[in-house]
Structures are given as C-alpha cells and as structure tokens.
Amino acid sequence: MSRIGKLPIDVPAGVTITVDSDVVTVKGPKGQLTVPHLSDVTVALEGTQAIVTRKDDEFIAKAQHGLQRALLNNAVIGVTKGYEKKLEVNGVGYRVNGGGQKIEMLLGFSHPVNYEAQAGVSLAVDKMTITVSGIDKQAVGQTAAEIRSIKKPEPYKGKGIKYADEVLRHKAGKAGK
C-alpha cells in the first residue's frame, strides 16, 4: 500500500469535491480547481474525508495511487489557504517594479525585463522581494521558477534572484599572491 495514497484527505467545511469519470472538481472559498481523475484509482467521499483507493495491484495502479492523492490534497489546500512563494532580488542597481500580473525588473542587462504571470497567479512586489501567490501549486511553482531563471544567483557574490529560503554556497574568489 502506498504510504501517501492510503492517508485520507480531510475536506474542510466550505469545500466541495465532485468526482466525474475524467476529472475531479474541487470548489472552495478561494476558487475552483480541476484535477485529472486517473484511470486505475477511485476517489470516494466518506463524510468529511476523501479516500483514494486503487483498483488492483498492477504497477501503474500503485504509481497512480499516491499521485492522485497528492494532486487532490494540493487542490484542497489551494482552494482553502492558497500557495505562496517568495523570491529575493540581490544586487547593486537591481530594481523591481509593478505588481498584479506584470512586473518590470532591472537586473543589470542593457534593457529592463518585463514578466507577465499566467492566469490565476498574482505577483506582489515589496522593495526587493517578489511574492508569487495563487491557488494552483504547480502554477505558482512554475511562475517562481521562470522568474528565478531570468537571473540566477551567481556563486561569488550571490547577485541575482533567489528563493527566500534558498541557501547559496559561495565560492572563494581569486587567490592572491
């Protein structure tokens, strides 16, 4: 049995889960998400819990068991609390402006870099910190990764865009005589 797949998902008040043949829809106070309903697992609602069970012990069913439960749990958390990632911009002369769906960044290039977030993801700027938030965990993580990839932190001084909880390993500079 999958250690993750066998855990029940607690469904808080105000969240409704609808199971169809090809998708599972999760509605909550922050919005609505759809999760694909995988073929070799079943999702059953029992009171205030959702239980994911697999149909047989085939290899693909075992793989889909934990995946279906994790996707469904992420959707439930997303429509109740939402997800958030923070990015820090470090560097002399680096600036970040904007908010909402678009931000403009001055990152030492010869031109400003404009970034527009995908639908369902919002960007907030506070001094040199960019906050990416939304209800879809995958979309929030992908947006944060795309922003970070514009100017990754370099290993000598740490200039660039990094996650707020990321620890950078600095390299020693040139050895003098």
Nearest to 141 by CA among 158, 109, 117, 113: 117
Has domain 83-163 been given CATH number 3.20.20.140? Answer: no
Determine the Cα–Cα distance for residues 8 and 13; give it in Å rounded to an integer: 16
Report the predicted TM-score, pTM, of the whole model to 2 decimal places.
0.88
Q: Where are the domains positioned within the chain?
A: 9-80, 83-163
Per-residue pLDDT reduced to its tens digit, 12-27? 999 999 999 899 999 9
Determine the Cα–Cα distance for residues 64 and 39; give it in Å rounded to an integer: 8
Task: Please list, in sequence order, all residues whose beta carbon lies within 8 angstroms of the beta carbon of residue 38, skipping any fewer than 6 positions away.
Answer: 64, 67, 68
Six-digit token pair at 42?
């079943």
Asked whether the domain spanning 83-163 has the same topology as the one spanning 9-80, the reply is: yes
Nearest to 112 by CA among 90, 88, 128, 96: 96
Class of domain 9-80: alpha beta
Per-residue pLDDT reduced to its tens digit, 47-88? 899 999 999 989 999 889 999 999 999 999 999 999 999 999
